[in-house]
Structure 1
Amino acid sequence: MGVLKKAKQHSLVADVVSQVEETILSRRIKPGERLPASRDLQSILGASLGTIREAVAILEQKGLVEVKKGAKGGIFVKEASTDSVSEGLGLLIRQLSISYEELAEFRQVNEAAVMRLVARRASDDELSALDDYMDDFRRALNLGDQGWKHFLATEVNLRKHLIELTKNRTYNAVLRPIHDNIMAYTDKLLPGEKRLVREAFTDWESIIEALKKRDGDTAADITSDHIGRFLNHVKE
């Protein structure tokens, strides 16, 4: 495997990790392909078997490789995913290390941008299909005081769907993990008042109508106001 060379002595584990990581990220070894066996890596890199195993464990933690057992096992390059981002952000949110204020500020800017992209890029059929979420919102409203959690779950699913409609993998990588974990705030921060549910319903009705008219600026403004207004409710 000619792309790898003898590891530097000052930090063998870090050097092995760095070399293999660069080889993977430069796609000289592609997702799904098998790396040389640990003993072969030991010979190629001039490191001990313990160093190789420690480096592989770090690469596995980073989500770059997967170690499979058995006759067809080995060290395989993993497909890139947002799982590690989602897990890390999820821990921060569940521990409330990220304040709701910080999260809202970030969302106002980026989710407004999502609306503008959706208005430009989604097909007519994709925009029309957003009405299905309004039907789900109505069902949640009919549950009365118990409907808030159902309403919020629908809102989370809608936001993740809109992120997909941007057809931009960066937004998907950064914003989707937020909505995968935002339910961690419900018990501590979200009041179950009917007034808030009604306000949110009206906002989404207006947002979807604006998107169907390809009016991304209006959808963006309502989205930003919606997030900011709810932040004010939380502070009260």
Structure 2
Amino acid sequence: MPSRPRSQPQAAKTGGKPAPMPNAAPEELFKTVSSSRVSQVIVEQIRLLLKEERLKPGDRLPSERDLCVHFGVSRVTVREALRILEASGLVEIRVGARGGAFVTTPDSRQVGEGLATLLSLSPLTAAEVTEARLVFELGIVPLIVERATDEDIEELLAMCDEHIEAMEHGDYTMEMSADFHIRVAAATHNSAVRMLVESFHGPLLMSLRTAHSVEPRMGKRGSVEHREFVAAVAARDVPKATATMRAHLERTAARVRAEGGDPGA
């Protein structure tokens, strides 16, 4: 994944004067460390300070030189720790005379990417993924029906039309099905729900492809059910939307079991 561009310092808009320096984190917060994995110990110490709110977004960490002194380590070790924190979205490195390492908070995209990596490395079965979808996707239906905006419904209907056309031309893919379910989750207007569904993209595709291997024509019925679901949401009909989504997911679950992905089947 390409690295994020580093932010440039900004000057105040009035009078051409530079903006005041952010509050620097108190130096006494940091403790000397000694370990075979020193950089990771530094990372964990700073994460703990964030959790305890002794460090807050916007705080500027001491300079690399000062951090070396406080932690009792080399500059190479401090830079490695800062790279880990930056990759985690906990620190932003700014360049220039007024630059440095600034505490920030990770956005949902970064958190979701981290979860997706963990899920992709886990020994999940298609049956487990489908079972989790039944619990989660059915659980958010009432929120979708309540909160979906006219724009959400228009975009979902447009996706359905596009997918049905792709089906007619033999171009429909399981990625399209996964994209629909992710867009449906976005209609909850709940960042945590959207983040979780986006992080589940890889396992979701795996389960869909397993079901598709059993029934290659499954996308045709699925595309119709997608449209029926959106119509129920537009009508603000929770029972209908829930019943449609349940039938949709249970058909996928049945095909996954037929593939032998369910050890209890």
- Within 5 Å, give how 1:1-236 maps onto structure 2: 1-2=25-26, 4-7=28-31, 9=33, 13=39, 16-25=42-51, 26=53, 28-30=55-57, 34-43=60-69, 45-49=70-74, 50-67=76-93, 74-81=100-107, 82-90=109-117, 92-93=119-120, 97-143=123-169, 146-149=170-173, 152-179=174-201, 182-184=204-206, 190-191=212-213, 193=215, 195-236=217-258
**Whole-angstrom distance in 1 between the partners of 2:189 and 2:207:** 28
State the TM-score, normalized to the length of structure 2. 0.70
Counterpart of 1:231, as a letter, is A
The count of residues paired between Structure 1 and Structure 2 equals: 229
Query: Rg larger in 1 or in 2?
Result: 2
Structure 1 residue 191, shift from structure 2 partner? 2.6
**Which blocks of at least 5 consecutive residues in structure 1 are unaligned?**
none
Q: CA RMSD in A?
A: 3.2
Q: Distance in 1 between matches of 2:44 and 2:230?
A: 46
Identity of aligned residues (%): 23
Offset of residue 180 of structure 1: 5.7
Whole-angstrom CA distance in 2 between matches of 1:113 and 1:27: 37
Q: Secondary structure at the match of 2:153?
A: helix
Normalising by structure 1, we get a TM-score of 0.78
How far apart are the structure 1 equivalents of 2:84 and 2:197?
A: 26
Q: Residues 193-231 of structure 1, C-alpha deviation per residue, up to 9 Å, x if partnerless?
A: 564122202311221111011122332332233222112
